[in-house]
């Protein structure tokens, strides 16, 4: 029986993680979880899974919930609460499915508490991959990828040796606007951007997919997870999202992982690794699919991907700036304050003015994150 702490239980990945736990009640139990502001959903999860500790974002919501579950569940709040859920003594695995760099400190604390980390929260690795990976190595804790591309690479690498990798190829669906020209992107709406052709996901990552920043964040995530330089990380447009990513080896052989697009596959693999459990999802029928398409990425059309490669290569605090600027710009787009193309302008401006600091510690990362957010907010005030 594996005991699971789930950060971000009310989100898209969180809900699908609960599906996986529900499907294997004999193998998994939920001992703690966090929600943000969705208290209604938190109540439902408490009733269904009877966890011991629950964190919500706001103190007032925690007080309300605590009065309803006196003596049954411990309710906590804020960053301290997230850390409590992430380090809960009983938990074996921490699934980090919160969105944004708010997931960083809980991940570091979970590593210190020697929890296995199933990581969906890519912003954590983008903003401070060097700290997370060093911490994981120091404490001997595995970081298991949940992101579908990284799970694919991880699966392709089973039984393989790092030294034999020539490159990895991350596939990209191209998001909601993959067939539009740059001119056509001028006036796109939030509603249009939120319509992803292949995946149903949280709002932030759906916008990241439309700008292709999601793939940029994934390039940096892959750099840290698989210890590869950026020259060995390629991106390929593949609109069907059937091949989830591939590894090319020195002998020219390519190993790929395929399947119908369903996040429960990589989530469950992270929870059962190195084992595999049955999963009742639609099977891939290649005869029916018949044709798969691939296309080179146009770095001028998808400038955010270019920014991510630049930030990754510069290193230090630059990826922190990339991530924080993107989080703020996407939030501003979602609330109608800026246009779609202004997202990349915010990121470009934030990166241009930043003087990167090499080997930043946690305090420096947090300061740069805060400062970048303030700067981006000031751009559209």
Binding site for ligand NDP (CB under 6 A): 8-14, 34-38, 57, 97-100, 102, 120-123, 147, 199, 201-205, 263
Distance CA 138, CA 123 (A): 21
**Is 208 an interacting residue with respect to Mg ion (CB under 5 A)?**
no
How many residues contact Mg ion, by CB under 5 A?
3
Residue closer to ligand NDP (CB basis): 14 or 316 = 14
Q: How far is the CB of 54 from Mg ion (least distance, A)?
A: 28
Token match 């609960």: residue? Answer: 18
Determine contact, residues 251/157, Cβ cutoff 8 Å.
no
Q: How far is the CB of 86 from ligand NDP (least distance, A)?
A: 11
Q: Are strands 93-96 and 2-7 parallel, antiparallel or unpaired?
A: parallel
Cα–Cα distances in angstroms (integers) from residue 16 to residues 3, 175, 262, 281, in the given order: 17, 21, 9, 12
Distance CA 269, CA 28 (A): 13
Q: How far is the CB of 257 from Mg ion (least distance, A)?
A: 13
Nearest residue relative to ligand NDP (C-beta): 11
Distance CA 268, CA 257 (A): 15
Residue closer to ligand NDP (CB basis): 38 or 272 = 38
Nearest residue relative to Mg ion (C-beta): 147
Distance CA 116, CA 262 (A): 23
Stretch that binds Mg ion, among 27-35, 143-151, 232-240, 255-263 (CB under 5 A): 143-151
Q: How far is the CB of 164 from ligand NDP (least distance, A)?
A: 27
Distance CA 204, CA 290 (A): 32
Residue closer to ligand NDP (CB basis): 73 or 263 = 263
Residue closer to Mg ion (CB basis): 208 or 369 = 208
Residue closer to Mg ion (CB basis): 241 or 317 = 241
Of 312, 319, 160, 298, residue with least CA distance to 233: 312
Q: How far is the CB of 243 from Mg ion (least distance, A)?
A: 13
Q: How far is the CB of 53 from Mg ion (least distance, A)?
A: 29
Reported for 201-207, long-range contacts at CB under 8 A and 24+ positions apart, including other chains, are: 201/12, 201/263, 202/11, 202/12, 202/13, 202/99, 203/334, 204/99, 204/100, 204/327, 204/330, 204/331, 204/334, 205/12, 205/99, 206/175, 206/176, 207/330, 207/333, 207/334, 207/343
**Is 221 an interacting residue with respect to Mg ion (CB under 5 A)?**
no
Q: How far is the CB of 117 from ligand NDP (least distance, A)?
A: 13
Of 364, 373, 371, residue with least CA distance to 326: 373
Residue closer to ligand NDP (CB basis): 17 or 116 = 17
Which listed option, ligand NDP, Mg ion, none, makes contact with residue 121 (CB within 5 to 8 Å by class)?
Answer: ligand NDP
Q: How far is the CB of 249 from ligand NDP (least distance, A)?
A: 26
Which listed option, Mg ion, ligand NDP, none, makes contact with residue 314 (CB within 5 to 8 Å by class)?
Answer: none
Distance CA 73, CA 66 (A): 7
Distance CA 329, CA 203 (A): 13
Instruction: Select the residue interacting with Mg ion from 61, 84, 123, 147 (CB under 5 A).
Output: 147
The torsion angle over the Cα atoms of residues 85, 86, 88 and 93, rounded to 10 degrees, is: 120
Q: What is the DSSP letter of 101?
A: G
Residue closer to ligand NDP (CB basis): 161 or 302 = 302
Stretch that binds Mg ion, among 6-14, 68-76, 149-157, 219-227 (CB under 5 A): 149-157
Residue closer to ligand NDP (CB basis): 164 or 262 = 262
Residue closer to Mg ion (CB basis): 157 or 342 = 157
Q: How far is the CB of 56 from ligand NDP (least distance, A)?
A: 8
User: Which stretches of the chain bind Mg ion, using CB under 5 A?
Assistant: 147-149
């Amino acid at each position: 029986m594996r005991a699971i702490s789930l950060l971000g239980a009310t989100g898209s990945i969180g809900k699908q993680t609960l599906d996986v736990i529900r499907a294997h009640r004999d193998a998994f139990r939920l001992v703690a979880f966090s929600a943000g502001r969705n208290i209604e959903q938190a109540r439902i999860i408490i009733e269904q899974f009877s966890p011991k500790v629950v964190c919500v974002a706001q103190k007032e919501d925690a007080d309300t919930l605590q009065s309803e579950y006196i003596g049954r569940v411990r309710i906590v709040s804020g960053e301290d609460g997230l850390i409590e859920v992430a380090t809960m003594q009983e938990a074996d695995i921490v699934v980090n499915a919160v969105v944004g760099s708010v997931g960083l400190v809980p991940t570091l604390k979970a590593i210190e508490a020697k929890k296995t980390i199933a990581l969906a929260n890519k912003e954590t690795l983008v903003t401070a991959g060097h700290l997370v990976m060093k911490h994981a190595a120091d404490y001997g804790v595995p970081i298991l990828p949940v992101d579908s591309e990284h799970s694919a690479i991880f699966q392709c690498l089973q039984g393989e040796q790092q030294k034999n990798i020539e490159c990895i190829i991350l596939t990209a669906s191209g998001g909601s606007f993959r067939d539009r020209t740059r001119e056509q992107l001028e006036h796109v709406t939030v509603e249009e951007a939120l319509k992803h052709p292949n995946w149903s996901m949280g709002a932030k990552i759906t916008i990241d997919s439309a700008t292709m920043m999601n793939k940029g964040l994934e390039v940096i995530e892959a750099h840290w997870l698989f210890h590869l330089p950026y020259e060995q990380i390629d991106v390929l447009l593949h609109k069907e999202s059937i091949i989830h990513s591939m590894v090319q080896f020195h002998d020219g052989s390519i190993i790929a992982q395929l399947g119908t697009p369903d996040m429960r596959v990589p989530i469950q693999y992270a929870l059962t690794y190195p084992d595999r459990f049955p999963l009742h999802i639609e099977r891939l029928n290649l005869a029916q699919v018949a044709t798969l398409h691939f296309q080179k990425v146009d770095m001028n059309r998808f400038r955010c991907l270019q920014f991510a490669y630049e930030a990754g290569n510069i290193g230090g605090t630059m990826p922190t700036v990339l991530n924080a600027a993107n989080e703020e710009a996407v939030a501003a787009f979602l609330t109608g304050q800026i246009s779609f193309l202004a997202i990349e302008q915010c990121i470009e401006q934030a990166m241009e003015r930043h003087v990167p600091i090499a080997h930043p510690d946690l305090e420096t990362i947090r300061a740069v994150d805060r400062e970048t957010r303030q700067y981006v907010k000031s751009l559209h005030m």
